[in-house]
Amino acid sequence: MINTRLSVAIHILALISKDNTLSSEKIASSVNTNPVVIRRIRGQLKKAGIIDVKRGLSGASLTRNPIDIDLLDIYRAVHINEELFRVHNNPNPECEVGRNIQSTLNSTFDEVQAKLENELKNITLDYVINKLQ
């Protein structure tokens, strides 16, 4: 399912790369969302080993240099076990299209997902940060 978690995660990481003392409230202000959303995504980034968050302290820090973090790392951190595309359930098996649509689209969507992941692997957080300036 396509959503904004990847862009929010990249936004968080770009901010953290500049200032590792920012609270979730300050980050939420930049993202224009609720601090709870920021804390949830920060938790996913921490679990993936991309950031380090000290309990009881404001802020977070990158665990690696931004040039060593690719967008696929970030994507996988926030899209755990989720498909980018999903085929609708229960098409009519009596219909020629309905009978074959799931297998056809599943293989097509798998190819698209693989291409997307390959592209994300080739773009670093450092590249995005430099484009922001």
pLDDT tens by residue, 9-54: 999 999 999 999 999 999 999 999 999 999 999 999 999 999 999 7
Instruction: From 89, 92, 87, 83, select the one nearest 117 (Cα to Cα).
Output: 83
Dihedral angle over CA of 116, 118, 119, 125, nearest 10: 110
Domain positions in the chain: 5-84+124-132
Cα angle value 113/78/21 (rounded, 5°): 140
pLDDT tens by residue, 44-100: 999 999 999 977 678 899 999 999 999 999 999 998 666 777 888 889 999 999 999
Looking at domain 5-84+124-132, which CATH architecture does it have?
Orthogonal Bundle (1.10)
Q: Which sign does the torsion angle of CA 85, 87, 88, 89 carry?
A: negative
> Which residues pair with residue 61 across a beta bridge?
52
